[in-house]
Amino acid sequence: MRSIGHFIGGKEVKGTSGRTADVFEPMTGDVQAKVALASKAEVRAAVENARAAQPEWAATNPQRRARVMMKFVELVQRDYDKLAELLAREHGKTVPDAKGDIQRGLEVAEFACGIPHLMKGEYTEGAGPGIDIYSMRQPLGVVAGITPFNFPAMIPMWKFAPAIACGNAFILKPSERDPGVPMKLAELMIEAGLPAGILNVVNGDKEAVDAILDDPDVKAIGFVGSTPIAQYIYERAAQTGKRCQCFGGAKNHAIIMPDADMDQAVDALIGAGYGSAGERCMAVSVAVPVGKTTADRLMEKLIPRVESLKIGTSVDPSADYGPLVTREAVEKVKSYIDIGVKEGATLAVDGRGFKMQGYENGFYLGGSLFDNVTKDMRIYKEEIFGPVLSVVRAKDYHEALALPSDHDYGNGVAIFTRDGDAARDFAAKVNVGMVGVNVPIPVPIAYYTFGGWKKSGFGDLNQHGPDSVRFYTKTKTVTSRWPSGVKDGAEFSIPTMK
C-alpha cells in the first residue's frame, strides 16, 4: 500500500505526527493509500523552508520565473495520461473528466507565463516640477492555498501558478482525500527548475489548516471549499491580518426560457448537472423552466435522459460519470433525496437504489431528478453536491430572474434563450458572479477572473486572471525628484500639484 507524506524543501518527506488518513479508490471502495496528517510542527517546517528560499526567488527576474512555469506546463503535458489516471482513481471522476481538471489548471499556469508583462507597474514622467512617479508590484513573501477534493489538479494550479510566478513561496494544503496529484505537481515543478522550498505540500486536516492560519510568516491564504469553512478561514485569517480570498458553496441555476432550443438545454442540464457525479462548485443543480408548457416539455425530455445515464468506473471511457469520492458523500446525498421526498417535491427519477455490478463496495449513486421543488425546501436552499437536479417552475421571466438573485449563494447561473434582449437584461440584472448565456458551466477562461458573490465568495479579489496578480503582490509607489541645484526652502503644507 502506498504511503504519502509531505513535500518539503524540494522532496517528499515522511510524516512525523503519527496520524494518517485513508485514501480510497472510489470505484472499488478499497483503501489504496495512507496519507500523513501534518502536525503544527510539520507545517512550521514547511513555512521555514519557504521563508528561507523566497528572497532569492523574488530576486530572480520575472522572465526566468516564467521559463520555469513554461517548463512545468511542458512536463505536465508529458505526464498527462498518468496524472489523469491517478486523479481518476483517487477522486472517482472519469479519466476524460480528470483530463479536463488538469487542462483547466494548466491554462492558468500558461497565463502565469506572461508574468513579465503582468507585473509591470506604471510610470509618469513630470508629475510635478522635476518629479517622476512610478509604481512597482512586489511579492508578499510566503503565501498558502487550501484546496478541495473535487478538483485536485485545477484548483492547486489556480493557486500556486500565479503566486509563484509573482515571486512568492507557496504552502499547499490539498484535500487529504485525493493528495496524489498535488504531490506529483510539486515534483514536476522541481523538475522544471523551481528552487527547493518555493513550493511545499503539507497534507493534513483541521490541525494543519489552523497552523497555516495562525502562522505569522504566512501573508495570504486562498481557499476553495464549503461555505461554512470558507467563512471560518476568512474570519480567522482577517483576525491575524492576512490577505484572504475564500470561495464556498453554490446553488447554480439554469433558466430555460420558452423560446430556448430545448434539446440544447437538456444536453446542457445533463452534462452540467450530472458530470463528475455533481461534485462541482459550478454544477447546475437547479433548472428553472419559465411557464407550464416549457416545464412540461423539459420534464418530458429530461426524465428519459436521467434514467439512461451510464454510471461506470473511473476508467470506463464510455461512462457518463463515475463514483462519488467517499461512502460518506454517498450517504449525505441520499439523505438529501430523503429530505426532498419528505418536503413534498416530486421525485421523478430515484437514483438511490443503483448498484454497480461487480463493484458493489464502490461509492456509486444513480442520477436523481426532482420536479415541483419550491424555494422554501432544503433541497433548494442547500448545496447537495451530488447527482441530483431540482426543477423549480417559474410562472414568468421576472420570477425566474428573482430565484438566483435572491438565493444565498451566487456562484454561477445560466440562461437558455434565443432572445438577445432577454439574455442581455438577465446578464445585467442577475445577482450572481458568473453568468452563462446558452453556456451551462460559465467558468471564465484563464485570463479572466473566477469568483462568486454572496455566500459563494469572501474577499475582495477573485481567482486567476489579473485579480490573481493583484492578490499575490503588493503595490509600492515611488515619488522621486533629483536635486537640480535649486533651493526651494522648507515646505510646511502638504505637497500638491497645483
User: What share of the chain has pLDDT > 90, as a percent?
Assistant: 94
Same domain? For 207 and 343 the reply is no
**Contacting residues for 395 by C-beta, under 8 A, at least 6 apart:** 290, 291
- pLDDT in the model for residue 129: 86
Please provide the average confidence, as pLDDT, over all residues in the chain. 96
Instruction: Please state the pTM of the whole predicted model.
Output: 0.95
Across 390-398, average pLDDT: 98
- What is the residue range of 353's domain? 252-437
The CA distance from 179 to 313, in Å, is: 20
Domain count, the chain: 2
- 273-292 pLDDT tens trace: 999 999 999 999 999 999 99
Q: Is residue 489 part of a domain?
A: no
Q: Where are the beta strands (DSSP E) in 387-452?
A: 388-391, 409-410, 412-416, 434-437
Across 290-302, average pLDDT: 98
CATH classification at residue 418: 3.40.309.10
The CA distance from 388 to 158, in Å, is: 27
The CA distance from 365 to 353, in Å, is: 8
Q: Is residue 447 part of a domain?
A: no
- 13-48 pLDDT tens trace: 999 999 999 999 999 999 999 999 999 999 999 999
- pLDDT in the model for residue 490: 73
Banded pLDDT at 256 (limits 50, 70, 90): very high
- 317-330 pLDDT tens trace: 999 999 999 999 99
Same domain? For 197 and 266 the reply is no
Same domain? For 395 and 295 the reply is yes
- pLDDT in the model for residue 488: 65
Residue for grid cell 429530461: 302
- 153-184 pLDDT tens trace: 999 999 999 999 999 999 999 999 999 999 99
Q: Which three cell numbers stand for residue 211?
A: 497552523
Catalytic member of 113, 166, 244, 281? 281
The CA distance from 151 to 147, in Å, is: 8
Q: CA-CA distances (angstroms) from residue 369 to 52, 156, 249, 280, 350?
A: 53, 32, 20, 17, 7
Q: Which three cell numbers stand for residue 359?
A: 463493484
Nearest to 119 by CA among 104, 136, 95: 136
Nearest to 312 by CA among 17, 26, 21, 20: 26
Q: Where are the beta strands (DSSP E) in 309-401?
A: 346-349, 368-371, 388-391
Same domain? For 365 and 314 the reply is yes
Same domain? For 164 and 297 the reply is no
Q: How many CA atoms lie within 13 A of 448 on its CB side?
A: 9
User: At 182, phi and psi to the nearest 5?
Assistant: -55, -40
Query: Does 166 qualify as catalytic in the annotation?
Result: no
CB 23 within 8 A of CB 177: yes
Give the count of beta carbons closer than 10 Å to the beta carbon of residue 219.
18
- pLDDT in the model for residue 498: 64
Torsion of CA 233, 235, 241, 242, to 10 degrees: 30
Nearest to 210 by CA among 144, 305, 165: 144
Asked whether the predicted pLDDT for residue 485 surpasses 80, the reply is no
Same domain? For 236 and 372 the reply is no
- 79-132 pLDDT tens trace: 999 999 999 999 999 999 999 999 999 999 999 999 999 999 999 999 988 899
Supply angle C-alpha 49, 50, 52, rounded to 5.
65
Q: Is residue 444 part of a domain?
A: no
Same domain? For 63 and 81 the reply is yes
- pLDDT in the model for residue 368: 98
Q: How many CA atoms lie within 13 A of 444 on its CB side?
A: 20
The CA distance from 98 to 80, in Å, is: 10
Same domain? For 241 and 300 the reply is no
Same domain? For 182 and 264 the reply is no
Q: Is residue 496 part of a domain?
A: no
Same domain? For 157 and 262 the reply is no
Q: Is residue 484 part of a domain?
A: no
User: At 468, phi and psi to the nearest 5?
Assistant: -65, -40
- 231-240 pLDDT tens trace: 999 999 999 9
CATH classification at residue 195: 3.40.605.10
- pLDDT in the model for residue 351: 96
Helix (H) or strand (E) holding 328: helix 327-343
Beta strand 20-25 pairing with 123-128: unpaired
Q: Is residue 493 part of a domain?
A: no
Same domain? For 119 and 258 the reply is no
Q: Which three cell numbers stand for residue 451?
A: 469568483
- 179-212 pLDDT tens trace: 999 999 999 999 999 999 999 999 999 999 999 9
- pLDDT in the model for residue 491: 73
Same domain? For 404 and 419 the reply is yes
- 46-74 pLDDT tens trace: 999 999 999 999 999 999 999 999 999 99
Across 265-274, 292-301, 353-362, 475-484, least confident range: 475-484
